[in-house]
Amino acid sequence: MERRLLAVIRASSAAAAVETARAALAGGVTVLEVAYTTPDAAEAIRQLTEAPLLGAGTVLTAGQAAEAVAAGARFLVSPGVVPEVIAFARRHGVAVLPGAATVTEILTALEGGADLVKLFPAEVLGLKFLKAVRQVLPQARLVPTGGITADNAGEWLAAGAAAVGVGGWLTDGSPEQVRERAGRLVDAVSRA
C-alpha cells in the first residue's frame, strides 16, 4: 500500500525541501521524489537518508541523473521521455519513471525500459484517458501525477493507476499542514 503514493517535493531551497519531506514522512508517506527544480536538490537527497524510498524528479539529463544517484536517489523521474535518463537508469540499476501524455509516449517509455510511466499532467488528461489506456495497454504501470489530492487519489487507483504522484496539494503549506495532508493521503490510498 505505502508504495502506491509518491510525494513530489519541490521547494525554494534544499533546506526547505528537507523540512517538507520530513513532514510528509511524519504523516506516513514512504516514497519521496525531490524535484530537480529545487535549488541544490542533490544536497536535499543526501540529507534525507531516513526516507524508506527516495528518488529524484524533473531529471532532464544524464548529468543530473548521475548526480542524483551519487547523492542516494534510488529512482529517477522525468516530466517526459528522456532517452539519456532512461539509458543511465538501466546501466546503473535504478528505477526510472519517464513522463508521458500520449499513448505513443507511453509506448516509447516502455520500449526504452521504463519501470513505470508517470502520466503527466494527470489533471489535464483525466481519469477517462487512464481507463482507455489501461484497456489497450494493461501492462503499462502508470503513475498519474498532477492534480492528485486525498479526495481523488482513490479514484485514480481504482481506475487502474499503479500509484499516484502528489505534489503541490501535499507540499504547499507549513510542515504541520504537510503532515496532516500526508496522513489523509496515506489513509485514502490504503482505502483504495
User: Which pLDDT does position 2 carry in this prediction?
Assistant: 57
Spatial separation of the C-alpha atoms in residues 123 and 12, rounded to whole Å: 24
Q: For residue range 136-164, list pLDDT tens digits in order.
A: 999 999 999 999 999 999 999 999 999 99
pLDDT mean over 117-144: 97
Do 63 and 36 meet the contact criterion of CB atoms below 8 Å apart? no
Q: Cell numbers 517538507 correspond to what residue?
A: 20
Mean pLDDT of 9-27: 98
The answer to whether residue 105 is catalytic is no
Q: Of the residues 67, 105, 118, 131, which is catalytic?
A: 118
Q: What does the mean pLDDT of the chain come to?
A: 97
pLDDT tens digits, one per residue of 68-105: 999 999 999 999 999 999 999 999 999 999 999 999 99
pLDDT(1) > 80 = no
Q: pTM score, two decimals?
A: 0.96
Average pLDDT over residues 9-23: 98
From 19, 33, 123, 155, the catalytic residue: 33
Q: Is the pLDDT of residue 120 over 80?
A: yes
Residue 52 predicted with pLDDT over 80: yes
The Cα-based distances of 149 to 120, 128, 154 in angstroms read: 15, 17, 9
CATH code of the region 2-191: 3.20.20.70
Neighbour tally for 93: CB within 10 Å: 8
Residue 19 has pLDDT above 50, yes or no: yes
| pLDDT above 90 coverage of the chain, percent | 98
The average pLDDT across 10-35 equals: 98
Grid cell 538501466 in the structure block, residue: 90
Q: What is the pLDDT at residue 29?
A: 97
Residue 31 has pLDDT above 90, yes or no: yes
pLDDT band at 175 (very low <50, low <70, confident <90, very high): very high
Assess whether 33 carries a catalytic annotation.
yes
Taking residue 102's Cβ as centre, other Cβ atoms within 10 Å add up to 12
- pLDDT for 3 equals 87
